[in-house]
Chain A
Amino acid sequence: DAKTTQPNSMESNEEEPVHLPCNHSTISGTDYIHWYRQLPSQGPEYVIHGLTSNVNNRMASLAIAEDRKSSTLILHRATLRDAAVYYCILRDGRSGNTGKLIFGQGTTLQVKP
């Protein structure tokens, strides 16, 4: 399974944008890039995913490098509620694959008021 590399921790100020990087140099052509986050004492929750093109939704934006070896999750205006562990995960999109998520250590985001 292809692996991802993320910084252990990052800090941000409230109401400022946050850019969370993820490296995945061994990504294959069928791997989708998924981001999940885990708030304290809760299960992980879906944030966003993409394959090749940049993606936007109500929670965040996902910027994917042209060679797909890295990506960046962008929170446009961080709030205190965004303090969480953010996981960047490669999910195999091949037909018949289990579709499971393999979590790494993630990035712990602290948001300062």
Chain B
Amino acid sequence: EAGVAQSPRYKIIEKRQSVAFWCNPISGHATLYWYQQILGQGPKLLIQFQNNGVVDDSQLPKDRFSAERLKGVDSTLKIQPAKLEDSAVYLCASSLNRALSGNTIYFGEGSWLTVV
């Protein structure tokens, strides 16, 4: 079974530039998550989709971050303009169905962002 695919793996940009990360979840997974992990900390949920609808985006800095999952499959997370504090690993994850607490959540390897 193919895992959660993310790209690019690494990105370095200057502050005030924009960047986009792409995620392809495991086939058939209705729920998709984007997490931000700053070095030395646990991952923090940014946004959660159920199919193509947003379930939770309470922690997403909406003035600069946006995410979409138009066809209920792939998703894109965008940052514009980037700040130095956005340097982090952006993790995409997916699960079959959010409603079942026993459903395993599968994570991708992450996209590493450095803002200089």
Interface residues of A (CB under 8 A from B): 32, 36, 41-46, 49, 85, 87, 91-93, 95-106
Contact = CB atoms under 8 A, between A and B. Distances in A.
Interface size class of B (residues with CB under 8 A): 20 to 34
26 contacts: A36-B105, A43-B4, A43-B109, A43-B110, A44-B91, A44-B93, A45-B106, A46-B105, A46-B106, A49-B101, A49-B102, A91-B101, A95-B99, A98-B56, A99-B95, A99-B98, A99-B99, A99-B100, A99-B101, A99-B103, A101-B45, A102-B45, A103-B43, A103-B44, A104-B42, A106-B42
Contacts of A93: 101
A110 B101 CA distance: 30
Nearest to A96: B99
Contacts of A91: 101
